[in-house]
Amino acid sequence: MLSGLVKACHPGPTAAVTVLVATLAVVAGHGAAGTALVAAAVLVGQLSVGWSNDAADAARDAAAERADKPIATGAADVRTVRAAALAALLLCVPLSLAVGPLAGAVHLAGVGGAWAYNLGVKATRLSWLPYAVGFAALPVFVTLGLPGQPWPRWWVVLAAALLGCGAHLANVLPDIPADLAAGVRGWPQRLGAARVRAAVPLPLLAATALLVFGPPGPPEGTGWAGLVLAAVLTGAGVLLGGRSPRAPFLAAVAVAAVAVLLLLADGAAPTAR
């Protein structure tokens, strides 16, 4: 039952988002204690999102006989998963606010948007919005938690929102046929698998380009290298998508890692100057 509960939290994306935001906190100038607090808040927030997703989709996953969903296979109990989601959400509140009242409010708004996605927005034309808001909230959360509460640079926020849109497309892509059969018609489902597969690289490359060309002055060699690497990763995700349905999403996570590395190479906190 414990292993099923762990799987139901979507451990891969949960760990990836937590590590990337913790790295961003270091880049932004948080000390060890501040970084740990940011990471803890993001971790429990992501746990609540993952568990609430599987709890909300339990009946649909069971009807579709999803072998990759622990509730559908009986490896986890829906009531336990739902209780874990609520407990993580409650814990997320004080941890987020401990980073700073304004920073915490921004993070909780992003987590709330993810819950709204799980509870119904995913089946609407606005299914992209919680992803965009949730990802954009992360750099804002990180920088507002610094002394003086500085805002992040605008291109960092916009790049994060674009990464969220790309992650949404890539994450939904393998499930589009099953979603359509179940009556879920969000933005990617309305586009169709072929268009989504072609569209996935666009927001990911646009996000990377913003981080390369957004700062004043001409791009340096590391920026061009990051842009090329992002292009290679997105291309590989599209090409390998036929063999591995999760390849586009893994490519999106890898591009997000490139984005953090670009900020690190920039040599400055991602805050407004």
Calpha distance 265→13 (Å, rounded)? 24
Cβ neighbours of 8 (radius 10 Å): 27
Residue pLDDT, tens place only, 129-166: 999 999 999 999 999 999 999 999 999 999 999 999 99
Whole-number pLDDT of residue 268: 45
Whole-number pLDDT of residue 272: 54
Angle (deg, nearest 10), helices 247-266 and 221-240: 170
Contact 92, 45 (CB under 8 A): yes
CATH number given to 2-266? 1.10.600
- Angle at Cα 264 formed by Cα 261 and Cα 267, nearest 5°? 150
Phi and psi for 152 in degrees, rounded to 5? -70, 160
Tokens of 182: 């179940």
Whole-number pLDDT of residue 270: 61
Reported pTM: 0.91
Quick one: 243 exposed, middle or buried, by C-beta within 10 A (0-12, 13-18, 19+)?
exposed
Break the chain into its structural domains and give their ranges: 2-266
Under-70 pLDDT residues of the chain: 266-273
3-state secondary structure of 271: strand
